[in-house]
């Protein structure tokens, strides 16, 4: 098949996004699972032109029902499979692949963060998030973090902007439930500490619980919109109108009324109370004592996670009641 004309490919999104601007924007996607893989492909559909994609893992059969890739990709490295997906949607894209854990080569990781216009933080553990946080602060980059909660009962998104609250500030806030993390595989659970080192494999399997792809989709969708708005800043494009909406640092979504959300009211009876299937945004205060961005203590990401005490959130637009 001959290469299509760029104008023809993106003719239908003209005005909504400035695809000539996005073609020169660079996105670093760290973690290419059901979050990172989907987000990379969606950004390719929106004409974003330059990518660094990073993941050490191969696709396994059990990944496929939630992943943008398909059964024919089982056994391939996620970097190779996701590169194909990006180029299938945007043949003009430039893709640099890094088949590694983000912490394995700090020099390469820092270089890619410094080069990127935006960083998608789609890893599955806090250790890597704190590592990335350090370089986002150092290089003044926007980072968009996203995760599913336990069995994708819900999920949350955090936007880190230069000079604003960092991931360390978020982890210290009272409304952020650090432990409410989906455990998508035994390996990921052991890495994140949700499965203790002494847990036998048969017991560990019970901890691995994932939700549906349709539970992940709202979360990746918001992350894509946040990314497109950030990348489109300063352009006169339709999506820029969302700059007035997508102002919060922290976003929360619930898929089902269970576990943390079990006391939430059914939508028709909720009145002003929170309900499932809608976004709630909050501003997070920058924490003066934050070891990551406060400047008073150097953060050694090789050590155990730092502990913060920060009970300050402000401008929460709903009482989350959890
Ligand atoms: Zn901080």
The tokens for 222 are: 């918001």
**Fold exhibited by the domain 6-314:** Rossmann fold (3.40.50)
Q: Distance between CA 47 and CA 50 in Å, rounded?
A: 9
d(CA 165, ligand 1 centre) in Å: 5
d(CA 285, ligand 1 centre) in Å: 9
d(CA 296, ligand 1 centre) in Å: 11
d(CA 233, ligand 1 centre) in Å: 24
Prediction pTM value: 0.86
Q: Distance between CA 225 and CA 253 in Å, rounded?
A: 15
d(CA 201, ligand 1 centre) in Å: 36
> Do 82 and 13 contact (CB within 8 A), yes or no?
no
d(CA 174, ligand 1 centre) in Å: 14
Q: Distance between CA 216 and CA 124 in Å, rounded?
A: 13
d(CA 49, ligand 1 centre) in Å: 31
Q: Distance between CA 219 and CA 225 in Å, rounded?
A: 10
d(CA 32, ligand 1 centre) in Å: 26
Q: In angstroms, what is the C-alpha Rg of the chain?
A: 19
Which residue, 111, 7, 10, is CA-closest to 52? 111
d(CA 246, ligand 1 centre) in Å: 21
d(CA 213, ligand 1 centre) in Å: 32
Tell me what the mean pLDDT of segment 59-80 comes to.
96
d(CA 170, ligand 1 centre) in Å: 7
pLDDT at 270: 85
pLDDT at 317 over 50: no
d(CA 286, ligand 1 centre) in Å: 6
The alpha-helical segments, DSSP class H, found in the chain are: 6-9, 19-22, 36-45, 78-89, 106-115, 126-139, 167-171, 186-192, 201-207, 213-231
Q: Give 126-182 pLDDT, tens digit per residue.
A: 899 999 999 999 999 999 999 998 788 899 999 999 999 999 998 877 667 776 777
d(CA 22, ligand 1 centre) in Å: 29
Phi, psi at residue 220, to the nearest 5°?
A: -65, -35
Domain ranges (residues) in the chain: 6-314
d(CA 141, ligand 1 centre) in Å: 14
Q: Distance between CA 106 and CA 21 in Å, rounded?
A: 30
d(CA 62, ligand 1 centre) in Å: 36
d(CA 160, ligand 1 centre) in Å: 10
Tell me what the mean pLDDT of segment 77-88 comes to.
98
Letter string b/e over residues 114-146, b meaning 16 or more CB atoms within 10 A of that residue's CB: eebbbbbbbbbbbbbbbbbbbbbbeeebbbbbb
Q: Give 84-139 pLDDT, tens digit per residue.
A: 999 999 999 999 999 999 999 999 999 999 999 999 999 988 899 999 999 999 99
pLDDT at 206: 60
Q: Distance between CA 118 and CA 255 in Å, rounded?
A: 27
pLDDT at 262 over 50: yes
pLDDT grade for 294, boundaries at 50, 70 and 90: confident
Which residue, 144, 47, 36, 25, is CA-closest to 81? 36
């Amino acid at each position: 098949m001959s290469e299509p004309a760029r104008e023809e490919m993106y003719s239908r999104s003209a005005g909504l996004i400035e695809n000539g601007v996005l073609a020169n924007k660079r996105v670093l996607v760290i973690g290419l699972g059901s979050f990172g893989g989907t987000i990379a492909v969606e950004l390719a559909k929106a004409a974003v032109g330059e990518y660094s994609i990073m993941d050490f893992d191969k696709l396994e059969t059990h990944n496929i029902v939630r992943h943008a890739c398909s059964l024919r990709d089982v056994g391939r490295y996620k970097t190779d499979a996701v590169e194909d997906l990006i180029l299938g949607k945007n043949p003009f894209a430039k893709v640099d692949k890094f088949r590694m854990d983000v912490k394995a080569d700090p020099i390469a990781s820092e270089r890619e963060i410094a080069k990127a216009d935006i960083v998608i933080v789609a890893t599955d553990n806090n250790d890597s998030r704190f590592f990335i946080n350090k370089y986002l602060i150092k290089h003044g980059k926007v980072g968009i973090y996203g995760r599913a909660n336990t069995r994708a009962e819900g999920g949350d998104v955090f936007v880190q902007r230069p000079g604003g609250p960092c991931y360390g500030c978020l982890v210290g806030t009272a409304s952020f439930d650090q432990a409410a993390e989906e455990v998508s595989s035994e390996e990921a659970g052991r890495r994140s500490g949700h499965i203790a080192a002494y847990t036998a494999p048969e017991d560990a399997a019970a901890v691995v619980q994932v939700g549906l792809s349709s539970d992940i989709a709202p979360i990746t969708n918001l992350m894509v919109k946040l990314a497109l708005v950030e990348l489109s800043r300063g352009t006169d494009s339709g999506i820029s109108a969302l700059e007035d909406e997508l102002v919060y640092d922290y976003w929360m979504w619930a898929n089902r009324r269970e576990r943390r959300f079990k006391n939430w009211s059914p939508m028709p009876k909720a009145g002003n109370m929170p309900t499932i299937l809608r976004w709630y945004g909050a501003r997070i205060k920058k924490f003066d004592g934050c070891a990551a961005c406060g400047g008073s203590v150097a953060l050694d990401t090789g050590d155990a996670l730092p502990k913060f005490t920060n009970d300050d959130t402000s401008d929460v637009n709903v009482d989350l009641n959890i």
